[in-house]
Chain A
């Protein structure tokens, strides 16, 4: 066999593509086309999360309940108007919110519940009779306990009884059951169970209300023998109602009016409230009276829930009057004011129980306030605000802080920002135990941020807030409040405020720790500061910033450091030594707090950031210092592979830069390569390691450090032996990577002058043996690597090499052995071995199509490496036969390879 002599520069000229000057930029696309694409991409879609709104999973108790109610003819949930749906989701939420212990204590007020256990087996009529007499045989103070489930079951029994009685036309019994059920709401000692009780009871009452409504309505539309004589319009007037129906309706109200006790009377009237439309064109008056009547209930819990039901029932009217809801809120306000002491007089346990109570009342306030601002029109808004005491003269108004909280929450943001100061004063005045004052400040701040407040008030507001909050000793509360206002401060560039805030934080923390909530607020504050400033230097220049950063611990600290690093790595380089030092310090902190070993590569954002940081650091001319920094980094982040990878890249980069410099820095380059060499072995991924070895070898070669380079390539190849390809999806991709790296190694070897000590074809030999030794090597990979080695050998045999390291200043691999026949002979004999191996490798390929392509590739490789002689022609023809067997004749690759072989063979014949 004989290598084909080649003239690379002539070939390059020959194969150079003819170039034409282009008239237009082929990359610029006409804009109209783009618009079309954009249009096409608009696709309508359904939100899959929203669709299942109605049948969302709910707690078992409720689920059963809805099933029950649908079974008895109440319309299914989806048929409800929006207000009803709001209500049902609200009640559902309420039942879940208050988790109750399994036992519910029952006082004499609600002993209707108690009879279940004892008289379970008596007939229901007996039970009714007994209950109607309502014997007071349990002494007043006795407290009984029943399980929560029993209580709920009992209520369900009542519901069934009611339905049964109604269907049997026993209206009196239905009413009596309803009254009994409504009476249960008098017992507020159940506390946490009260919301659940309320929901279950009002369900029964609503049902009765619907029954009565339907009955009276049918009386207006049907005669007694069931013939329809008229059809009631949607918005009917009382003149449409016949006397008989009015009579029945009035009768119901008489019956309800005769209920002695206030609470059940209000509830029953509310349940029948819609029926007033049969008697009165202005039923609003009725609701007004009911709002006032509810003031007679002194128990704050009972009255709050009574108002909640009132709100619910009032919304059943076509036009719900907001004034009523406002009265409800004001009444609640007044009542709570009466009930909750100011903060100064708080005394231990009684306050605790009140806080618990306020917690149970809270949802009612939330719901009513929400209803007010949901329904209020722009026109009504002013009046509503005045009625709530938030009109022009807010100086005198007072609000219980829990009520104020929900007003602040729901208030239109325009109102809040136009009266920011007034609301601040109001928050200041309402300092009671029903709600934490600082949380109201916080909400105020958050709401203000929703829409940029007018600049002129910002200064005053912030001044006031800072003044008020400065009196608060607690760090956590301070942080919480400040966090909310920080956006405004930053938006308006109130730098003095920022300074005050940071000073205050640092002062407060000097002798105290910080708790979990405080940490979160601090994290948010730091995050806002970071996102506000453009340059990291500005942030670091803030007084106490680093000191405060040190306060952070754990996860919040990690998150803030990550944002700092993100910010730092946004720029294209980091040059300021002070900044580098600070970043290095905090990076170390990050490194200490994260467990990098247990993170997956893809999610390892901190590692990405750290390596990006290392990459961006640039000391300019001070390369020694840069290298020292890299050394420091290796010490600090030695556990993170990705960073080590970057470190090697950086040090190689430094070496190359130094080389490019006019002055030679031989020693510096050596130290860089030494650094890389030392760092490399600890990288755990072998492919990465291999690539880095190659890179370093290349740099060493560039620097004229030939023996270094040879050693590095040696290490690289020995590292290859450690690579272990496993089965799996990544294996194929990894194999491809490795293949191209080995191909790169071959091309690098062209430049490396041979080492006479090792013999002429030292590295190719090692590679060939590597290829043959490795068990996981696929035939395809093996073929390609061998082809690459073959090309390497063919190139080395040339008198002129296609390329040189550093533009030919260094010798190439052939120079050492120039003209040495033994050398050439060695190359040929090795290539003969390779040819043999290649032919074998192709045989091993199991897949037909792949075998065909491999055969063609090998054939191609032979044609370009060797001069075609009989011997080679025989091998090539054989390969072509193999390829033809495996591929169709029409295959272009096959045809072109065949053609090329034919051309060459003709020249062979000519010879």
Chain B
């Protein structure tokens, strides 16, 4: 005897205004009688604090009470009997009921401290004598496109420049004296379906460059009592220059946003999810070989770093 849920879409992505559709598939060698088949929709924001800027006590407490987004039970079949063999029971459940005025349907997000997850569970209750059957599957929620503006214009680029003087951490003496200048521009308002775009030009550098990388980071903040606990983690690194590139030639910045690891920038009451882009220039140095690889954002003597905030939006897609 087995039960499973099969959703209508292979990518399992649904919008709040849409119906979650699919089939409950029950496989049994003999016919079963039951006391009703029901679906349980559950969406919640799970917050936890560990490490990062949290104090010792908070990290001991760990999990903070989750914020519920949706929690609804729907009866698919009244009590009855299922024949032997495979039975497919179709279902269709609207995610956000029009009259329902619960919390916002945040997009699915799996982070370090913040987890926004939507689950659908099927339950077949068979009275006290038999164990009830159940199966759970996660589905992914993306915001309704209607909620958002048109696609941001790509011309909204932020211009930045990196020199020895913009660095707030100590640099190698030869870097400090020889100097360098890297300029660039980047779109800081970005649709989730589009890549991060921009360009970068090495105008001058006395010390040869070893690599230039773009680190995409998420910044998760949780309010715990009176304090805001922030955790920043790298979710994708994209190298755009390998070696000592030619000067005064524009290199494109192009990074596709990874799914599930990104979501629209959220500022909710008890938590927020933001994104940042770090441009890190690694200069050739003997010192860098001695040190093991660490978080690229850690200031080092041979690194030059520039960070830009990145606002992600869910935009009307092409279709």
Which residues of A are in contact with B by a Cβ distance under 8 Å? 140, 186, 243-244, 247, 253-254, 257-258, 260-263, 265, 289, 292-293, 295-299, 302, 331, 334-335, 338
Contact = CB atoms under 8 A, between A and B. Distances in A.
A258 B239 contact: no
B159 interface: no
Given A244-B10, A293-B240, A258 B246 contact: no
A289 B252 contact: yes
Contacts of A299: 242-243
B242 A295 contact: no
B294 interface: no
A258 B238 CA distance: 7
Nearest to B258: A258
Contacts of A331: 249
Nearest to B319: A243
Nearest to A293: B252
Q: Which 4 A-B pairs have the closest CB atoms?
A: A298-B243, A257-B256, A296-B241, A262-B239
Nearest to A334: B246
Interface string B7-26: 00011000000000000000
A296 B245 contact: yes
A331 B252 CA distance: 14
Contacts of A338: 246-247
A860 B289 CA distance: 113
Given A260-B213, A293-B251, A296-B251, 4 more contacts: A247-B10, A257-B195, A292-B252, A295-B251
A262 B250 contact: no
Contacts of A254: 256, 258-259
Contacts of A262: 239-242
B250 A292 contact: yes
21 contacts: A186-B242, A243-B319, A257-B256, A258-B256, A260-B213, A260-B237, A260-B238, A265-B238, A292-B199, A295-B249, A295-B251, A296-B212, A296-B239, A296-B241, A296-B245, A296-B251, A297-B242, A298-B241, A298-B244, A334-B246, A338-B246
A292 B246 CA distance: 12
A283 to B, nearest CB: 15
Contacts of B319: 243
Contacts of A265: 238-239
B255 interface: yes
Given A253-B256, A298-B241, A258 B236 contact: yes
B284 to A, nearest CB: 11
Contacts of A298: 209, 241-246
B243 A297 contact: yes
Given A254-B258, A258-B256, A296-B251, A335 B246 contact: yes
B254 interface: yes
A263 B242 contact: yes
A331 to B, nearest CB: 8
A911 B250 CA distance: 126
B239 to A, nearest CB: 4
B158 to A, nearest CB: 20
A244 B8 CA distance: 12
Contacts of A257: 195, 238, 255-256
A279 B218 CA distance: 28
A186 B242 CA distance: 10
A140 B289 CA distance: 8
Q: How big is the B interface, by class?
A: 20 to 34
A254 B213 CA distance: 18
Interface of B: 10-11, 195, 199, 209, 212-213, 236-247, 249-252, 254-256, 258-259, 289, 319
Contacts of A334: 246, 249
Contact of A296 (B236, B242, B289): B242
Contacts of A289: 252, 254
Nearest to A335: B246
A275 to B, nearest CB: 14
A145 B21 CA distance: 59
B231 to A, nearest CB: 21
Contacts of B245: 295-298
B100 to A, nearest CB: 29
For B238, B242, B258, which residue has the most chain A Cβ atoms within 10 angstroms? Answer: B242
A360 B10 CA distance: 48
B254 A293 contact: yes
B13 to A, nearest CB: 9
B240 A247 contact: no
A295 B256 contact: no
A247 B11 contact: yes
A334 B249 CA distance: 9
Given A257-B195, A257-B255, A289-B252, A296 B237 contact: no
A299 B209 CA distance: 12
Nearest to B255: A257
A896 B209 CA distance: 109
Nearest to A331: B249
Nearest to B248: A334
Contacts of A295: 245-246, 249-251
A346 B245 CA distance: 22
A575 B117 CA distance: 110
Nearest to B197: A289
Nearest to B261: A258
A298 to B, nearest CB: 3
A269 to B, nearest CB: 10
B27 to A, nearest CB: 19
A245 to B, nearest CB: 11
Nearest to B235: A258
Nearest to A286: B254
Contact of B251 (A243, A244, A263, A292): A292
A253 B257 CA distance: 11
A140 to B, nearest CB: 6
B238 to A, nearest CB: 7
A253 B259 CA distance: 12
Nearest to B254: A289
A628 B235 CA distance: 102
A258 B262 CA distance: 13
A582 to B, nearest CB: 61
A261 B258 contact: no
B187 to A, nearest CB: 14
Contacts of A140: 289
A263 B250 CA distance: 17
Contacts of B10: 244, 247
Contacts of B246: 295, 298, 334-335, 338
Contacts of A292: 199, 250-252
Nearest to A253: B256
Contact of B242 (A247, A253, A258, A261): A261
A296 B239 CA distance: 9
B180 to A, nearest CB: 15
For A254, A265, A296, A299, which residue has the most chain B Cβ atoms within 10 angstroms? Answer: A296
Nearest to B241: A296
Contacts of A253: 256
A265 B240 CA distance: 10
A232 B87 CA distance: 36
Contacts of B243: 297-299
A222 B199 CA distance: 40
A260 B239 contact: yes
B79 to A, nearest CB: 34
B259 to A, nearest CB: 6
Nearest to A298: B243
B318 to A, nearest CB: 9
A292 B240 CA distance: 10
Contacts of A260: 213, 237-239
